[in-house]
Amino acid sequence: MTDRVTLKDVAARAQVSYQTVSKVLNRQTRVSTATEKRIHDAVRALGYTPDQRARNLRAQRSYMLGYSWRPDSPNQVNPILDLFMHSMVAAADAVGYHILPFPHPDPEDHIDKYRDLIRTGRVDGFVLSSVEYQDSRIRFLQREKFPFVAFGGVAEPSAMYVDVDGTEGMRLATAHLIAQGHTRIAALGWPKESRVGELRLAGYVRAMRGAKLPVRARWVARGTGSVETGYQATQHWLQGGERTRPTAIVAVTDVLAIGAMRAIQESGLRVGADIGVTGFDDTPLAQYLTPGLSSVRQPIWQAGQNVIDLLVHCLEQEPLAQTRVVLNPELVIRPSSLLHADNTSEIAITHNE
């Protein structure tokens, strides 16, 4: 609100041309130490800070990275967002960039939003999340040759992304249950259309096969990630005889796992001691349930850092060692998957071949 201090003000005080001030500040030229000192003194005395808007115009850049996320269906949990956003904001800030969040529009006029942000020069690049199978945004951005990094795997070649190995996460959870002595393990998944869902289920299958345990079709249930889905599937499984029904359940989502837990408890069995349960995402929910729910935790903070790192390197035309990063999740173990809950403390185990 008070009048802005510009290069010219500094220059007048230091008795040099304003372009020289600019160059000295950006270390583009060498001047006598005397003038250099005068300039820096003037900068400090006046409290000069370069105007980003002018820089943006001149450089034809905005130093902004667009990001829009899907508002998780009205009342769903989005534990990811807070952390992911924070991670990206911090990483971007550290290298002179900022995040520009924009509303996730209807799937159809998606592109218009993106196009507009590009055309108006508001952003230099995009972070994409919740990408789908044939995502029109990716096709569009690639055609426009506009830089972007996706969070989540992307099939398109030459697209940069950071992903968390869902298969490995689910393998970890399943293997953990197997190590507890479980042999009859059922799985709660998402509909077949969901790429992430299928990848996670693949981890279940891999762990079972690895231990030479049978994978039965009727022990794999798919549905929307609601409590109800998990509840009903589990209830159905529990109707089997005590010697034939599953003794453990892995779920691709914490919410599905909650459904399973509820069904187990209502049928008079104990979660953990009688039937082991694991979830996915390590939603804040998981630690507050009784018993605490074991869950696969994604390294969200790390992912955010990597996404920005990739994108900024690309924007700065710096060489980057890799164009795609795959991170390993870890399993946070709580009583829900333990036969005897001797200790209530959490332990996290991660990938070990």
Partner DNA sequence: ATCATTTAGGCGAACGTTCGCCCGAACGTT
Partner DNA sequence: AACGTTCGGGCGAACGTTCGCCTAAATGAT
Q: Please report, as ranges, the residues that interact with DNA according to CB under 7 A.
A: 4, 6-8, 15-20, 22-23, 25-26, 28-32, 34-36, 48-51, 53-55, 57-60
CA dist., res. 21 & res. 233, Å (int): 71
User: Which among a second copy, DNA, none contacts residue 28 (Cβ within 5 to 8 A by kind)?
Assistant: DNA
User: Which among DNA, a second copy, none contacts residue 81 (Cβ within 5 to 8 A by kind)?
Assistant: a second copy
Q: Which residues pair with 251 in a beta bridge?
A: 188
Phi, psi dihedral angles at 77 (to 5 degrees): -90, 135
121: contact with a second copy by CB under 8 A: yes
Binding string, residues 62-101; x marks residues near a second copy by CB under 8 A: x--------xx--xxxxx-xxx-xx--xx--x----xxxx
122: contact with a second copy by CB under 8 A: yes
Contact between residue 11 and residue 17 where contact means Cβ atoms under 8 Å apart: yes
Please identify, using beta-carbon distances, which residue of 15 and 287 lies nearer to a second copy. Answer: 287
Minimum distance between the CB of residue 270 and a second copy, rounded to whole angstroms?
14
CA dist., res. 325 & res. 162, Å (int): 5
Please identify, using beta-carbon distances, which residue of 140 and 215 lies nearer to a second copy. Answer: 140
The only residue of 4, 212, 243, 340 in contact with a second copy, by rule CB under 8 A:
4
What's the one-letter identity of residue 334? R
Please identify, using beta-carbon distances, which residue of 123 and 286 lies nearer to DNA. Answer: 123
The only residue of 9, 25, 95, 102 in contact with a second copy, by rule CB under 8 A:
102
Minimum distance between the CB of residue 124 and DNA, rounded to whole angstroms?
15
Site size toward a second copy, by CB under 8 A: 55
CA dist., res. 247 & res. 266, Å (int): 16
User: Which among a second copy, DNA, none contacts residue 289 (Cβ within 5 to 8 A by kind)?
Assistant: a second copy
CA dist., res. 28 & res. 126, Å (int): 30
Binding string, residues 224-243; x marks residues near a second copy by CB under 8 A: ---x----------------
Using DSSP's 3-state secondary structure scheme, residue 267 falls into coil
Contact between residue 10 and residue 43 where contact means Cβ atoms under 8 Å apart: yes
User: Which among a second copy, DNA, none contacts residue 25 (Cβ within 5 to 8 A by kind)?
Assistant: DNA
- Cα dist from 306 to 75, 107, 310, whole Å: 29, 27, 6
Minimum distance between the CB of residue 318 and DNA, rounded to whole angstroms?
16
Q: Which long-range contacts (CB under 8 A, 24 or more apart) does 236-241 make?
A: 237/186, 238/263, 238/264, 238/267, 238/269, 238/275
Contact between residue 264 and residue 238 where contact means Cβ atoms under 8 Å apart: yes
Contact between residue 251 and residue 188 where contact means Cβ atoms under 8 Å apart: yes
**For residue 290, with 0-12 CB atoms within 10 Å meaning exposed, 13-18 middle and 19 or more buried, which class applies?**
exposed
The only residue of 28, 29, 52, 224 in contact with a second copy, by rule CB under 8 A:
52
Whole-number CA gyration radius for the chain: 26
287: contact with a second copy by CB under 8 A: yes
Please identify, using beta-carbon distances, which residue of 56 and 226 lies nearer to DNA. Answer: 56
Helix 7-14, helix 33-46: angle, nearest 10: 130
Instruction: Tell me which stretch binds a second copy (CB under 8 A): 152-160, 183-191, 257-265, 272-280.
Output: 257-265
Contact between residue 276 and residue 108 where contact means Cβ atoms under 8 Å apart: no
Query: What does the binding site for a second copy look like in residue numbers (CB under 8 A)?
Result: 1-2, 4, 47, 49-54, 56-57, 60, 62, 71-72, 75-79, 81-83, 85-86, 89-90, 93, 98-103, 116, 119-122, 144-146, 227, 255, 258, 262, 265, 283-285, 287-290
